[in-house]
Amino acid sequence: MKQNILTSTLLVMGLLVGCTQAGSTEDKLLGSWNFSVFMSPSKVAEMSKDPLPPGATMEITMEGSTTILHGHRYNAEGQATLRLAMQGKELPLKFLIRESGRWEMHDDVFVQITEDGVVTPLDDMTRSIVADSPEMTALFEPVKGASASSRILNISHNEMNVVTLEEPKGLRVKYIRTS
Q: Is residue 13 part of a domain?
A: no
Q: How far apart are CA 69 and CA 151, in angstroms?
A: 19
Q: How far apart are CA 121 and CA 138, in angstroms?
A: 12
> What total of structural domains would you count in the chain?
1
Tell me the residue range of the domain where 128 lies. Answer: 25-177
Q: Is residue 11 part of a domain?
A: no
Q: How far apart are CA 74 and CA 103, in angstroms?
A: 7
Q: Is residue 3 part of a domain?
A: no
The pLDDT profile of the chain, 179 residues, written as one tens digit per residue, is: 433 333 333 333 333 333 334 578 899 999 999 999 999 998 888 877 777 788 889 999 999 999 999 999 999 999 999 999 988 899 999 999 999 999 999 999 999 999 999 889 999 999 998 888 877 667 667 778 889 999 999 999 999 999 999 877 889 999 999 98
Q: Is residue 78 part of a domain?
A: yes
Biggest CA–CA distance in the chain, Å, is 80
Q: Is residue 76 part of a domain?
A: yes
Q: Is residue 5 part of a domain?
A: no
Where is 120: in which H helix or E strand?
strand 109-121
| Helix ranges, the chain (H) | 2-21, 25-29, 41-47, 124-132, 135-138
Q: Is residue 87 part of a domain?
A: yes
